[in-house]
Protein backbone atom coordinates (compact mmCIF):
# COMPACT_ATOMS: atom_id res chain seq x y z
CA UNK A 1 0.00 0.00 0.00
CA UNK A 2 1.25 3.48 -0.80
CA UNK A 3 1.82 5.54 2.33
CA UNK A 4 2.64 9.22 2.55
CA UNK A 5 5.79 10.25 4.44
CA UNK A 6 3.63 11.31 7.38
CA UNK A 7 1.78 7.98 7.45
CA UNK A 8 5.11 6.16 7.40
CA UNK A 9 6.35 8.21 10.32
CA UNK A 10 3.23 7.28 12.30
CA UNK A 11 3.65 3.63 11.35
CA UNK A 12 7.31 3.66 12.42
CA UNK A 13 6.44 4.95 15.86
CA UNK A 14 7.76 8.51 15.53
CA UNK A 15 4.58 9.78 17.20
CA UNK A 16 4.48 7.11 19.90
CA UNK A 17 3.28 3.61 20.52
CA UNK A 18 -0.48 4.27 20.38
CA UNK A 19 -0.69 5.91 16.98
CA UNK A 20 1.77 3.36 15.56
CA UNK A 21 -0.30 0.47 16.87
CA UNK A 22 -3.53 1.87 15.37
CA UNK A 23 -1.78 2.58 12.06
CA UNK A 24 -0.31 -0.93 11.96
CA UNK A 25 -3.77 -2.47 12.27
CA UNK A 26 -5.28 -0.23 9.58
CA UNK A 27 -2.36 -0.77 7.18
CA UNK A 28 -2.17 -4.52 7.66
CA UNK A 29 -5.92 -4.98 7.07
CA UNK A 30 -5.71 -2.62 4.08
CA UNK A 31 -2.76 -4.61 2.69
CA UNK A 32 -4.61 -7.89 3.08
CA UNK A 33 -7.48 -6.37 1.04
CA UNK A 34 -5.03 -5.11 -1.62
CA UNK A 35 -6.01 -1.54 -0.92
CA UNK A 36 -3.80 0.94 -2.79
CA UNK A 37 -3.78 3.77 -0.22
CA UNK A 38 -5.32 5.31 2.88
CA UNK A 39 -7.96 8.01 2.80
CA UNK A 40 -9.05 10.51 5.44
CA UNK A 41 -12.32 10.03 7.31
CA UNK A 42 -14.50 12.76 8.76
CA UNK A 43 -16.22 10.75 11.50
CA UNK A 44 -16.00 7.44 13.33
CA UNK A 45 -18.72 5.51 15.10
CA UNK A 46 -17.31 2.83 17.37
CA UNK A 47 -19.30 -0.35 17.95
CA UNK A 48 -18.40 -3.18 20.30
CA UNK A 49 -17.83 -0.98 23.36
CA UNK A 50 -20.00 -3.06 25.68
CA UNK A 51 -18.10 -4.72 28.52
CA UNK A 52 -20.29 -7.77 27.96
CA UNK A 53 -18.96 -7.94 24.43
CA UNK A 54 -15.25 -7.04 24.70
CA UNK A 55 -14.62 -7.99 28.35
CA UNK A 56 -11.30 -7.47 30.11
CA UNK A 57 -9.07 -7.72 26.98
CA UNK A 58 -11.03 -4.98 25.19
CA UNK A 59 -11.13 -2.82 28.30
CA UNK A 60 -7.35 -3.15 28.74
CA UNK A 61 -6.60 -2.24 25.13
CA UNK A 62 -8.75 0.91 25.20
CA UNK A 63 -7.27 1.89 28.57
CA UNK A 64 -3.76 1.44 27.19
CA UNK A 65 -4.54 3.92 24.41
CA UNK A 66 -6.12 6.32 26.85
CA UNK A 67 -3.24 6.08 29.36
CA UNK A 68 -0.83 6.83 26.52
CA UNK A 69 -2.66 10.14 26.01
CA UNK A 70 -4.00 9.14 22.59
CA UNK A 71 -6.83 11.33 21.28
CA UNK A 72 -9.24 10.52 18.50
CA UNK A 73 -8.31 12.36 15.31
CA UNK A 74 -11.91 12.82 14.16
CA UNK A 75 -15.28 13.35 15.80
CA UNK A 76 -16.15 9.99 17.33
CA UNK A 77 -19.43 8.63 18.66
CA UNK A 78 -20.12 5.38 20.48
CA UNK A 79 -22.63 2.52 20.23
CA UNK A 80 -24.93 1.36 23.08
CA UNK A 81 -23.72 -0.50 26.14
CA UNK A 82 -25.42 -3.16 28.28
CA UNK A 83 -27.44 -0.97 30.67
CA UNK A 84 -29.03 2.44 31.20
CA UNK A 85 -26.41 4.64 32.84
CA UNK A 86 -29.08 6.50 34.85
CA UNK A 87 -30.94 3.39 36.05
CA UNK A 88 -28.87 0.21 36.09
CA UNK A 89 -31.90 -2.03 36.63
CA UNK A 90 -34.23 -0.42 34.08
CA UNK A 91 -34.41 -3.47 31.80
CA UNK A 92 -37.13 -5.89 32.94
CA UNK A 93 -36.11 -9.40 33.93
CA UNK A 94 -32.46 -8.34 33.96
CA UNK A 95 -30.06 -7.85 36.83
CA UNK A 96 -26.79 -6.12 36.02
CA UNK A 97 -23.80 -7.35 37.96
CA UNK A 98 -21.99 -4.49 39.70
CA UNK A 99 -18.59 -5.75 38.45
CA UNK A 100 -19.98 -5.53 34.93
CA UNK A 101 -20.83 -1.86 35.59
CA UNK A 102 -17.33 -1.24 36.99
CA UNK A 103 -15.75 -2.74 33.87
CA UNK A 104 -18.06 -0.75 31.60
CA UNK A 105 -17.42 2.52 33.41
CA UNK A 106 -13.67 2.10 32.93
CA UNK A 107 -14.20 1.60 29.19
CA UNK A 108 -16.38 4.71 29.00
CA UNK A 109 -13.89 6.79 31.00
CA UNK A 110 -11.09 5.76 28.64
CA UNK A 111 -13.12 6.51 25.52
CA UNK A 112 -14.18 9.88 26.89
CA UNK A 113 -10.60 10.77 27.79
CA UNK A 114 -9.66 10.01 24.19
CA UNK A 115 -12.30 12.51 23.05
CA UNK A 116 -15.28 10.32 22.21
CA UNK A 117 -18.77 11.73 22.52
CA UNK A 118 -20.49 9.10 24.69
CA UNK A 119 -23.69 9.03 22.67
CA UNK A 120 -24.29 5.34 23.49
CA UNK A 121 -26.63 5.00 20.55
CA UNK A 122 -26.80 2.94 17.36
CA UNK A 123 -28.52 5.75 15.45
CA UNK A 124 -25.68 8.24 14.96
CA UNK A 125 -27.64 9.37 11.91
CA UNK A 126 -30.18 11.09 14.21
CA UNK A 127 -27.53 13.14 15.98
CA UNK A 128 -27.17 16.84 15.08
CA UNK A 129 -23.51 16.22 14.15
CA UNK A 130 -24.63 14.22 11.13
CA UNK A 131 -25.40 17.50 9.35
CA UNK A 132 -21.68 18.24 9.43
CA UNK A 133 -20.88 15.11 7.40
CA UNK A 134 -21.09 15.95 3.72
CA UNK A 135 -22.66 13.59 1.20
CA UNK A 136 -19.89 11.51 -0.39
CA UNK A 137 -17.46 11.86 2.48
CA UNK A 138 -15.80 8.78 3.94
CA UNK A 139 -16.38 7.71 7.53
CA UNK A 140 -15.61 4.58 9.57
CA UNK A 141 -18.81 3.30 11.11
CA UNK A 142 -18.98 0.07 13.02
CA UNK A 143 -22.66 -0.65 13.56
CA UNK A 144 -24.36 -2.56 10.78
CA UNK A 145 -27.71 -0.73 10.79
CA UNK A 146 -25.92 2.63 10.81
CA UNK A 147 -23.57 1.50 8.05
CA UNK A 148 -26.46 0.53 5.77
CA UNK A 149 -28.38 3.73 6.67
CA UNK A 150 -25.29 5.89 6.21
CA UNK A 151 -24.50 4.54 2.74
CA UNK A 152 -28.07 4.12 1.55
CA UNK A 153 -29.85 7.14 3.00
CA UNK A 154 -27.23 9.75 3.88
CA UNK A 155 -24.96 9.00 0.94
CA UNK A 156 -21.84 8.91 3.11
CA UNK A 157 -19.27 6.22 2.47
CA UNK A 158 -18.36 3.45 4.88
CA UNK A 159 -17.65 -0.23 4.86
CA UNK A 160 -18.94 -2.46 7.63
CA UNK A 161 -16.16 -1.94 10.08
CA UNK A 162 -15.82 -4.12 13.14
CA UNK A 163 -15.42 -2.53 16.57
CA UNK A 164 -11.58 -2.69 16.63
CA UNK A 165 -11.21 -1.21 13.13
CA UNK A 166 -13.59 1.67 13.87
CA UNK A 167 -11.55 2.34 17.03
CA UNK A 168 -8.21 2.32 15.18
CA UNK A 169 -9.60 4.40 12.31
CA UNK A 170 -10.88 6.97 14.83
CA UNK A 171 -7.36 7.20 16.28
CA UNK A 172 -5.50 7.68 12.98
CA UNK A 173 -8.35 9.48 11.21
CA UNK A 174 -7.86 7.27 8.17
CA UNK A 175 -9.15 4.11 6.58
CA UNK A 176 -8.05 1.96 3.65
CA UNK A 177 -9.44 2.91 0.26
CA UNK A 178 -11.55 -0.13 -0.41
CA UNK A 179 -15.10 -1.38 -1.03
CA UNK A 180 -17.79 1.27 -0.70
CA UNK A 181 -15.28 4.13 -0.42
CA UNK A 182 -14.71 3.62 -4.16
CA UNK A 183 -17.43 5.38 -6.15
CA UNK A 184 -17.82 2.73 -8.85
CA UNK A 185 -18.44 0.03 -6.22
CA UNK A 186 -21.59 1.86 -5.18
CA UNK A 187 -23.33 1.63 -8.54
CA UNK A 188 -25.93 -1.16 -8.57
CA UNK A 189 -26.20 -3.81 -11.26
CA UNK A 190 -29.29 -5.69 -10.09
CA UNK A 191 -32.73 -4.22 -9.53
CA UNK A 192 -35.27 -5.69 -7.08
CA UNK A 193 -38.98 -5.06 -7.57
CA UNK A 194 -41.95 -6.29 -5.59
CA UNK A 195 -44.87 -7.75 -7.50
CA UNK A 196 -47.81 -6.57 -5.41
CA UNK A 197 -51.40 -5.31 -5.54
CA UNK A 198 -51.80 -1.56 -5.92
CA UNK A 199 -52.86 -0.85 -2.34
CA UNK A 200 -50.18 -3.04 -0.77
CA UNK A 201 -48.11 -0.76 1.44
CA UNK A 202 -44.61 -1.58 2.49
CA UNK A 203 -44.45 -0.97 6.23
CA UNK A 204 -41.35 -1.64 8.32
CA UNK A 205 -42.09 -5.34 8.90
CA UNK A 206 -42.65 -6.01 5.20
CA UNK A 207 -39.61 -3.90 4.30
CA UNK A 208 -37.53 -5.93 6.74
CA UNK A 209 -38.73 -9.17 5.17
CA UNK A 210 -37.75 -7.75 1.77
CA UNK A 211 -34.37 -6.96 3.36
CA UNK A 212 -34.07 -10.55 4.57
CA UNK A 213 -34.94 -11.91 1.10
CA UNK A 214 -32.51 -9.59 -0.70
CA UNK A 215 -29.73 -10.40 1.77
CA UNK A 216 -30.18 -14.09 1.06
CA UNK A 217 -30.36 -13.96 -2.73
CA UNK A 218 -28.17 -11.03 -3.73
CA UNK A 219 -25.04 -12.46 -5.29
CA UNK A 220 -23.24 -9.51 -6.81
CA UNK A 221 -20.35 -7.31 -5.61
CA UNK A 222 -22.34 -4.11 -6.16
CA UNK A 223 -25.18 -3.04 -3.87
CA UNK A 224 -28.72 -4.10 -4.77
CA UNK A 225 -31.13 -1.52 -6.16
CA UNK A 226 -34.50 -1.56 -4.39
CA UNK A 227 -37.05 -0.19 -6.80
CA UNK A 228 -39.80 0.31 -4.24
CA UNK A 229 -41.23 3.13 -2.19
CA UNK A 230 -40.67 2.68 1.52
CA UNK A 231 -43.50 4.19 3.53
CA UNK A 232 -41.76 6.34 6.13
CA UNK A 233 -38.62 6.90 8.16
CA UNK A 234 -39.34 3.97 10.49
CA UNK A 235 -39.59 1.73 7.44
CA UNK A 236 -36.29 2.96 6.03
CA UNK A 237 -34.56 2.52 9.38
CA UNK A 238 -35.90 -0.99 10.04
CA UNK A 239 -35.14 -2.01 6.46
CA UNK A 240 -31.51 -0.85 6.93
CA UNK A 241 -31.30 -2.81 10.18
CA UNK A 242 -32.70 -5.98 8.62
CA UNK A 243 -30.22 -5.75 5.75
CA UNK A 244 -27.44 -5.37 8.30
CA UNK A 245 -28.67 -8.28 10.45
CA UNK A 246 -29.70 -10.85 7.86
CA UNK A 247 -26.51 -10.81 5.78
CA UNK A 248 -23.28 -9.03 4.93
CA UNK A 249 -24.54 -6.21 2.73
CA UNK A 250 -23.49 -2.68 3.67
CA UNK A 251 -25.58 -0.68 1.22
CA UNK A 252 -28.79 -0.79 -0.78
CA UNK A 253 -29.56 1.84 -3.36
CA UNK A 254 -33.16 2.75 -2.55
CA UNK A 255 -35.36 4.36 -5.16
CA UNK A 256 -36.00 8.03 -4.41
CA UNK A 257 -33.87 7.97 -1.27
CA UNK A 258 -30.21 7.18 -1.95
CA UNK A 259 -28.36 10.28 -3.15
CA UNK A 260 -26.44 8.70 -5.99
CA UNK A 261 -26.26 9.27 -9.73
CA UNK A 262 -26.31 6.29 -12.07
CA UNK A 263 -27.87 5.30 -15.34
CA UNK A 264 -30.82 3.04 -14.60
CA UNK A 265 -30.92 1.90 -18.21
CA UNK A 266 -27.59 0.17 -17.71
CA UNK A 267 -29.14 -2.23 -15.21
CA UNK A 268 -30.07 -5.29 -17.20
CA UNK A 269 -31.04 -7.72 -14.47
CA UNK A 270 -34.28 -7.40 -12.51
CA UNK A 271 -35.36 -9.78 -9.78
CA UNK A 272 -39.01 -9.76 -8.78
CA UNK A 273 -40.05 -10.57 -5.25
CA UNK A 274 -43.62 -11.80 -5.05
CA UNK A 275 -45.72 -10.21 -2.32
CA UNK A 276 -47.10 -13.69 -1.49
CA UNK A 277 -43.63 -14.67 -0.31
CA UNK A 278 -43.54 -11.57 1.88
CA UNK A 279 -47.00 -12.40 3.20
CA UNK A 280 -46.02 -15.98 3.98
CA UNK A 281 -43.05 -14.81 6.04
CA UNK A 282 -45.14 -12.08 7.66
CA UNK A 283 -47.66 -14.74 8.74
CA UNK A 284 -44.87 -16.90 10.16
CA UNK A 285 -43.59 -13.98 12.20
CA UNK A 286 -46.83 -12.50 13.43
CA UNK A 287 -47.93 -12.94 17.05
CA UNK A 288 -50.36 -15.71 17.92
CA UNK A 289 -50.96 -14.67 21.46
CA UNK A 290 -50.63 -11.79 23.89
CA UNK A 291 -46.99 -11.02 24.52
CA UNK A 292 -45.27 -10.69 27.89
CA UNK A 293 -43.49 -7.64 26.61
CA UNK A 294 -43.74 -5.26 23.64
CA UNK A 295 -40.45 -3.78 22.52
CA UNK A 296 -39.65 -0.79 20.32
CA UNK A 297 -36.17 0.57 19.85
CA UNK A 298 -33.96 -1.62 17.72
CA UNK A 299 -32.41 0.47 16.22
CA UNK A 300 -32.96 3.17 18.83
CA UNK A 301 -36.31 4.93 18.44
CA UNK A 302 -36.57 8.51 17.22
CA UNK A 303 -38.50 11.20 19.11
CA UNK A 304 -41.13 10.93 16.39
CA UNK A 305 -41.62 7.19 16.97
CA UNK A 306 -41.80 7.61 20.74
CA UNK A 307 -44.45 10.28 20.41
CA UNK A 308 -46.38 8.07 18.00
CA UNK A 309 -46.37 5.21 20.53
CA UNK A 310 -47.61 7.62 23.21
CA UNK A 311 -50.41 8.75 20.90
CA UNK A 312 -51.59 5.16 20.44
CA UNK A 313 -51.30 4.37 24.14
CA UNK A 314 -53.36 7.40 25.09
CA UNK A 315 -56.38 5.40 23.95
CA UNK A 316 -55.56 2.51 26.23
CA UNK A 317 -57.49 2.34 29.47
CA UNK A 318 -55.89 -0.53 31.13
CA UNK A 319 -52.65 -1.60 29.54
CA UNK A 320 -51.83 -5.08 30.72
CA UNK A 321 -48.61 -5.58 28.81
CA UNK A 322 -45.21 -4.16 29.70
CA UNK A 323 -43.92 -1.89 26.94
CA UNK A 324 -40.20 -1.19 26.67
CA UNK A 325 -38.73 1.51 24.45
CA UNK A 326 -34.99 2.00 23.98
CA UNK A 327 -33.60 5.20 22.56
CA UNK A 328 -30.70 7.62 22.61
CA UNK A 329 -30.39 10.38 25.21
CA UNK A 330 -30.44 12.85 22.33
CA UNK A 331 -33.85 11.74 21.04
CA UNK A 332 -35.24 11.28 24.56
CA UNK A 333 -34.34 14.87 25.42
CA UNK A 334 -36.60 16.14 22.61
CA UNK A 335 -39.80 14.25 23.49
CA UNK A 336 -42.90 16.32 23.98
CA UNK A 337 -43.95 16.65 27.67
CA UNK A 338 -47.48 15.33 27.10
CA UNK A 339 -46.11 12.23 25.39
CA UNK A 340 -43.74 11.66 28.30
CA UNK A 341 -46.62 11.93 30.76
CA UNK A 342 -48.67 9.39 28.81
CA UNK A 343 -45.76 6.94 28.76
CA UNK A 344 -45.26 7.43 32.47
CA UNK A 345 -48.94 6.89 33.24
CA UNK A 346 -48.86 3.62 31.27
CA UNK A 347 -45.77 2.44 33.09
CA UNK A 348 -43.85 2.27 29.80
CA UNK A 349 -40.14 1.78 30.35
CA UNK A 350 -38.24 4.38 28.36
CA UNK A 351 -34.63 3.30 28.54
CA UNK A 352 -31.49 5.04 27.29
CA UNK A 353 -27.94 3.95 26.37
CA UNK A 354 -28.76 0.30 25.76
CA UNK A 355 -31.13 -2.16 24.09
CA UNK A 356 -32.56 -5.60 24.82
CA UNK A 357 -29.98 -7.19 22.54
CA UNK A 358 -26.77 -5.64 23.83
CA UNK A 359 -27.88 -5.87 27.48
CA UNK A 360 -27.76 -9.23 29.29
CA UNK A 361 -31.57 -9.46 28.87
CA UNK A 362 -32.31 -13.06 27.99
CA UNK A 363 -35.38 -14.39 29.73
CA UNK A 364 -35.75 -17.79 28.07
CA UNK A 365 -39.24 -18.56 26.81
CA UNK A 366 -40.53 -14.99 27.14
CA UNK A 367 -42.96 -13.81 24.44
CA UNK A 368 -41.79 -10.53 22.96
CA UNK A 369 -43.55 -8.56 20.24
CA UNK A 370 -41.58 -5.92 18.35
CA UNK A 371 -41.49 -4.07 15.04
CA UNK A 372 -37.80 -4.85 14.61
CA UNK A 373 -36.57 -7.69 12.45
CA UNK A 374 -33.09 -7.16 13.88
CA UNK A 375 -34.43 -7.63 17.42
CA UNK A 376 -36.25 -10.76 16.22
CA UNK A 377 -33.03 -12.04 14.64
CA UNK A 378 -30.88 -11.65 17.75
CA UNK A 379 -33.40 -12.17 20.58
CA UNK A 380 -34.56 -15.45 19.01
CA UNK A 381 -30.98 -16.67 19.38
CA UNK A 382 -31.29 -16.04 23.12
CA UNK A 383 -34.25 -18.42 23.34
CA UNK A 384 -36.88 -15.68 23.41
CA UNK A 385 -40.07 -16.11 21.35
CA UNK A 386 -40.20 -13.05 19.15
CA UNK A 387 -42.95 -11.99 16.78
CA UNK A 388 -43.37 -8.92 14.61
CA UNK A 389 -45.99 -6.20 14.19
CA UNK A 390 -45.72 -2.80 12.54
CA UNK A 391 -45.64 0.16 14.91
CA UNK A 392 -48.69 1.45 13.04
CA UNK A 393 -50.60 -1.70 14.02
CA UNK A 394 -49.95 -1.21 17.73
CA UNK A 395 -53.36 0.26 18.40
CA UNK A 396 -55.13 -2.49 16.50
CA UNK A 397 -53.29 -5.36 18.13
CA UNK A 398 -53.76 -3.88 21.58
CA UNK A 399 -57.47 -3.83 20.85
CA UNK A 400 -57.32 -7.47 19.80
CA UNK A 401 -55.57 -8.24 23.04
CA UNK A 402 -58.36 -6.33 24.79
CA UNK A 403 -56.05 -3.74 26.18
CA UNK A 404 -58.16 -0.93 24.74
CA UNK A 405 -61.44 0.61 25.80
CA UNK A 406 -64.51 -0.97 24.21
CA UNK A 407 -65.67 2.21 22.49
CA UNK A 408 -62.57 2.31 20.30
Residue 221 CB-density burial (10 A; 0-12 exposed, 13-18 middle, 19+ buried): exposed
Q: Minimum CB separation from ligand F3S for residue 12, in Å? A: 37
Site stretch for ligand F3S (CB under 6 A), options 29-37, 192-200, 226-234, 353-361: 353-361
Name which of residues 91 to 130 contact ligand F3S (CB under 6 A): 122
**Beta strands of 159-228 (E only): which ranges?**
174-176, 190-195, 225-226
The nearest distance, CB 202 to ligand F3S, in angstroms, is 20
> E strands within 222-361?
225-226, 253-254, 269-274, 293-301, 322-327, 349-352
Min dist CB 250 to ligand F3S, Å, is 15
Tell me whether residue 216 or residue 381 sits nearer to ligand F3S (CB atom): 381
Q: Which residue's CB is nearer to ligand F3S, number 139 or number 260?
A: 139
Considering the complex, state which of residue 22 and residue 306 has its C-beta at the smaller distance from ligand F3S: 306
d(CA 177, CA 162): 16
What residues pair up with 44 in beta bridges, in sequence order? Answer: 76, 140
Out of 218, 222, 237, 374, the only residue in the binding site for ligand F3S (CB under 6 A) is 374
- Determine the Cα–Cα distance for residues 90 and 97; give it in Å rounded to an integer: 13
In the complex, least distance from residue 139 CB atom to ligand F3S, rounded to whole angstroms:
17
Provide the β-strand partners of residue 39: 175
Q: Are strands 174-176 and 38-40 parallel, antiparallel or unpaired?
A: antiparallel
> Considering beta carbons, is residue 66 or 371 the nearer one to ligand F3S?
371
Residues of this chain, 221-250, that bind ligand F3S according to CB under 6 A = 241
**Cα 211 to Cα 311: distance, rounded to the nearest angstrom:** 28
User: To the nearest whole angstrom, how small is the minimum distance from the Cβ of residue 147 to ligand F3S?
Assistant: 11
Q: Least distance from C-beta 80 to ligand F3S, angstroms?
A: 4
- Residue whose CB is less far from ligand F3S, 21 or 308: 308
Residue choice 119, 138, 145, 390 for contact with ligand F3S (CB under 6 A):
145
Q: Which is nearer to ligand F3S, 227 or 361 (CB)?
A: 361
Dihedral sign for Cα atoms in the order 329, 335, 337, 340:
negative
Residue 355 is a binding residue for ligand F3S (CB under 6 A):
yes
Return the range that interacts with ligand F3S (CB under 6 A); candidates 22-30, 218-226, 354-362, 400-408.
354-362
List C-alpha distances in Å: 308 to 294, 302, 311: 15, 10, 5
CA distance 111 to 62: 7
Residue number with CB closer to ligand F3S (40 or 383)? 383
- Residue 76's beta-bridge partner residues? 44
Q: Minimum distance between the CB of residue 241 and ligand F3S, rounded to whole angstroms? A: 5
Bond preceding residue 237 cis, omega within 30 of 0:
no
Backbone φ and ψ for 298, nearest 5 degrees, come out as -130, 110
Residue 79 vs 403, nearer CB to ligand F3S:
79
Query: Rounded to the nearest whole angstrom, what is the least distance from the CB of residue 398 to ligand F3S in the complex?
Result: 23
Which string of DSSP letters, residue by residue, matches 17-60? HHHHHHHHHHHHHHHHTT---EEE-SEEEE----HHHHHHHHHH
CB 282 within 8 A of CB 191: no
Site for ligand F3S in 291-350 (CB under 6 A): 297-300, 326
Q: Tell me how far, at minimum, the Cβ of 16 lies from ligand F3S, in Å.
A: 32
**In angstroms, what is the minimal distance from the CB of 123 to ligand F3S?**
7
Q: Which is nearer to ligand F3S, 204 or 395 (CB)?
A: 204
Give whichever of 122 and 139 is closer to ligand F3S, judged by the CB atom: 122
State residue 392 phi and psi, 5-degree precision: -70, -15
Residue 63: how many CB atoms within 10 A of its CB? 16
Residues in touch with ligand F3S (CB under 6 A)? 79-80, 122, 145, 241, 297-300, 326, 355, 357-358, 374, 378
Amino acid sequence: MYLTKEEEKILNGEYGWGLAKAMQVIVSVGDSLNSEKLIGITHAHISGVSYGNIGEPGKKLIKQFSDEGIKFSVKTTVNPIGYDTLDYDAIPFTKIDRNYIKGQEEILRSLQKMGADLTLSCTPYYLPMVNEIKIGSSVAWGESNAVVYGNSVLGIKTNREGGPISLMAAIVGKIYYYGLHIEENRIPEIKYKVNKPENYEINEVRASIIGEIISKIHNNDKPPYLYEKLRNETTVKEFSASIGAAGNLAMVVIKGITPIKFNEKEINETITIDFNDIKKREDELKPNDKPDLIYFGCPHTSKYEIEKIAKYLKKVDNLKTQIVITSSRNEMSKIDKDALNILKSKNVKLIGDTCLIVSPFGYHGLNVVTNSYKAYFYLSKKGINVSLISLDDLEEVLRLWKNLRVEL
